[in-house]
Amino acid sequence: MDPSDTRPARRRRGSGAVTLHDVARLAGVAPITASRALNTPTQVSPDVLQRVTEAVSRTGYVPNRLAGGLASLRSRLVAAVVPTISGPVFLQTVQALTAALAERGYQLMLGQSGYALEREDALLEAIIGRRPDGIVLTGILHSDQGRRRLLAAGIPVVETWDLTPTPLDMLVGFSHADVGRAVAAYLHGRGRSRLAAVSGDDERASRRMQAFVAEVERLGLPRPVLIQVPAPTTLASGRRALAELLSGAPQTDAVFCSSDLLALGVLTEAQSRGLAVPRRLAVVGFGDLDFAADLHPALTSVHIDGDAIGRQAAQFIVDRAEGRPVKQRIVDIGFSIVERDSA
């Protein structure tokens, strides 16, 4: 590596991992000196420590926490990072991923990142340092530091629950923008004209709602009112959101919610106010959770095949870990609107 080259190291063939030797070359020191700087920094000069630290930052290198003699062996461990385990929307994917990996002799390690990139970065540093055979991530948005670390590690990565033509490595998911447009068309097709949206403030939900609003306007309807609540969303935040919505836009006749839990809150608040659903107010959720069909009225919702996401992610990881080529790196599983009584 040229010390004057400020670009992050690219993945190489073979393992693809940035090594301690790469860091040492970039810092202009011997590998053993770089190792001392990382493990016992008091044994090196401040100048050497600064150069090694800068090289680590530029390459995304994370020290391998496994013993040297084990580093060449497969760990048979896969790490997954989800925003939250308090809400049920990702559970089907986690369960399918766990089962599909177990069938092939792999175990799943689960991390919860919240909805903050800083928390994901901390998890990724801990995960990469333990060299799992694969990493499964939720979404496609990561910090620059996180992307450098993932690319430098040479570990198979599957991004899920989203869609982009330029994934880090492999991807299985669906288009959030297409979801928003489809729900707008669905409600318009059923004669609704005063539409609104209640959404969590996370990036994927926001993208769905932005597309929903744009499609409603394209259809020639008034711009929808959008109420945002903190993620992860809850029944209580759905109740509060509908109260706020009706206070400012009492003529609203349809609400698209970014989660089924929000929709459940909207239904509860509507019933407490004596608003007939769907005659007075149509409600559409997202996620098609198990309880959606059992509500009264049953909840119309966007169905995502979380099981298919988990199983495909597992297949991607196992194929790469065992040296089999992956020809189709992007899988769009799509979605469907399940029509029930609420809309």
> Residue 301 in contact with residue 338, Cβ under 8 Å?
yes
Say how far apart CA 77 and CA 271 lie, in whole Å: 47
Q: How many domains does the chain have?
A: 3
Judged against a pLDDT cut of 70, whether residue 64 lies above it is answered with no
pTM: 0.80
Q: Pick from 342, 260, 316, 318: which is nearest to 74 by CA?
A: 318
Q: Are residues 180 and 293 in the same domain?
A: yes
Say how far apart CA 340 and CA 328 lie, in whole Å: 35
For residue 69, being part of any structural domain is answered with no
Say how far apart CA 55 and CA 66 lie, in whole Å: 21
Residues spanned by the domain of 35: 20-59
Say how far apart CA 170 and CA 261 lie, in whole Å: 30
Q: What is the pLDDT of residues 174-228, one digit of tens each?
A: 999 999 999 999 999 999 999 999 999 999 999 999 999 999 999 999 999 999 9
Q: Which of the residue ranges 27-31, 33-37, 81-85, 282-286 has the most confident prediction, judged by mean pLDDT?
A: 282-286
Three-point CA angle 264, 266, 268, nearest 5°? 70
Task: Find the CATH number of the domain harbouring 87.
Answer: 3.40.50.2300
Q: Pick from 81, 57, 255, 63: which is nearest to 157 by CA?
A: 81
Quick one: pLDDT at residue 84?
80
Quick one: pLDDT at residue 276?
96
For residue 70, being part of any structural domain is answered with no
Q: Are residues 286 and 310 in the same domain?
A: no
Between 65 and 324, the more confident residue is 324
For residue 52, being part of any structural domain is answered with yes
Q: Are residues 169 and 314 in the same domain?
A: yes
**Partner residues linked to 284 by β-bridges:** 256, 300
Q: What is the pLDDT of residues 110-134, one digit of tens each?
A: 988 877 778 888 889 889 988 899 9
Q: Are residues 24 and 92 in the same domain?
A: no
Quick one: pLDDT at residue 66?
55
